[in-house]
Amino acid sequence: MSPGEFLIGPIRWYAALIVTGMALAVWLATLEERRRGLPKDTILDLALWLLPIGVLGARIYYVIFSWDRYAADPLSALYIWEGGLAIYGGVIAGALTALVFAKKRGLPLRVLADMIAPGLALAQGIGRWGNFFNSEAYGVETAVPFWRFFPASVLIGDTWHLACFFYESVLDIAVFVWLWCRRKKRLRDGDTTLGYLLLYGAGRMLIEGLRTDSLYLTGTLRISQLLSAAMVLAVCVVWMTRVKGPTRLWLLLPAALLAAATVCGVLGASLGVMSAVIAGYGAAAILCTAIFEIKAGGLSCPTAS
């Protein structure tokens, strides 16, 4: 189904799309830098450190959790142009880099994170199409013939599979649009980042359960779903400190389902059961977002004094 891995000559679509996404993310962050009145070139200086370290972190994360693919030829772990980047590795490495940068420049980390989050979501949405050209990040076989068309499904060999890369690309771009449109509201510092963590984390949990090439921590526990669950739970805990009454009970729902998923993992539940529980957790997280937004003001909370 894919037209091929290469764009022009030795240049791969995968690399070109990732670089394009990064460039757009930096440009959007510079717009926020100007709007917020930060020192000129703050974002460019940060990007010089954050981008290469982020890519390195994404590669190291991927290699660690799929070492069996590289054990026979460790040098192949350096062939980053062939694909194999894990976004969570990049986010973790990037967050640590931003933390050090913020401390050295005397800038609030939450402000820097809020400037970066929308562009990060957009870059992810663009970069996911690199998976299409590499014929990777697809899901289980499409059981219903009605859905055997692109982009709902993708043809791998002679078999139609769910196009998980496309689903996540749509998720990422939707998250970007939502965050970008709301960035000028009176938000607390860090709320844009919390919105990214909650919405991307919840969506990723749902989509990850459909994939056939996930990285696993144990036999049934997918590492990306575990990290997504942790992100969503952390956001719900932060939000619980801001509200009182019945709304707080709704924010406990993801915690309860996370506990159920953990029990399933410990007991060695089947992959189908585990995926179903975590998918329910993701759906509950999205529901809690809507409730918090409507009843408690959500990301529209006035800036803290």
Q: Residue 126 domain-assigned?
A: yes
103 and 228 co-located in one domain: no
Quick check: is 202 in a domain? no
Question: Does the pLDDT value for residue 203 go beyond 90?
Answer: no
209 found inside a domain: no
In a domain, 75, yes or no: yes
17 and 131 fall within a common domain: yes
| Beta strand segments in the chain, E | 6-8, 11-12, 153-156, 159-162
Say whether both 162 and 232 belong to one domain.
Answer: no
48/44 Cα distance (integer angstroms): 6
Closest to 14 in 3D by CA, of 1, 2, 26: 2
Q: Are residues 237 and 135 in the same domain?
A: no
Asked which of 89-93, 194-198, 263-267, 294-298 is least confident by mean pLDDT, the reply is 294-298
Q: Within this chain, do residues 145 and 71 fall inside the same structural domain, yes or no?
A: yes
Write a three-state SS string for 148-180.
CCCCCEEEECCEEEECHHHHHHHHHHHHHHHHH
Nearest 5°: the CA angle 248, 257, 201 is 85
Q: How confident is the model at residue 231 (pLDDT cuts 50, 70, 90)?
A: confident
Share of the chain above pLDDT 70, in %: 77
> Based on the structure, what is the number of domains in the chain?
2
Same domain, 17 and 60: yes
95-116 average pLDDT score: 95
- Identify whether residues 167 and 247 lie together within a single domain: no
Q: Are residues 158 and 231 in the same domain?
A: no
Over the stretch 11-32, which tens digit does the pLDDT of each residue have?
A: 888 889 999 999 999 999 999 9
Flag whether pLDDT at 233 surpasses 60.
yes
Helix H, strand E, coil C: the string for 7-35 is EECCEEHHHHHHHHHHHHHHHHHHHHHHH
Query: Is residue 236 included in any domain, yes or no?
Result: yes
Domain carrying residue 233: 215-305
Block residue for tokens 């590289």: 70
Residue 194 belongs to some domain of the structure: no
High-pLDDT (> 90) share of the chain, %: 44
Same domain, 36 and 102: yes
Q: What is the mean pLDDT of the chain?
A: 83
Picking from 166, 184, 202, the residue at the C-terminal end of a domain is 184
* 101 and 6 inside one domain: yes
210 is a domain residue: no
Q: Looking at the domain assignment, is residue 200 inside a domain? A: no
72 and 15, same domain (yes or no): yes
Q: Can you give the pTM of this predicted structure?
A: 0.84
Based on the domain organization, do 11 and 123 belong to the same domain?
Answer: yes
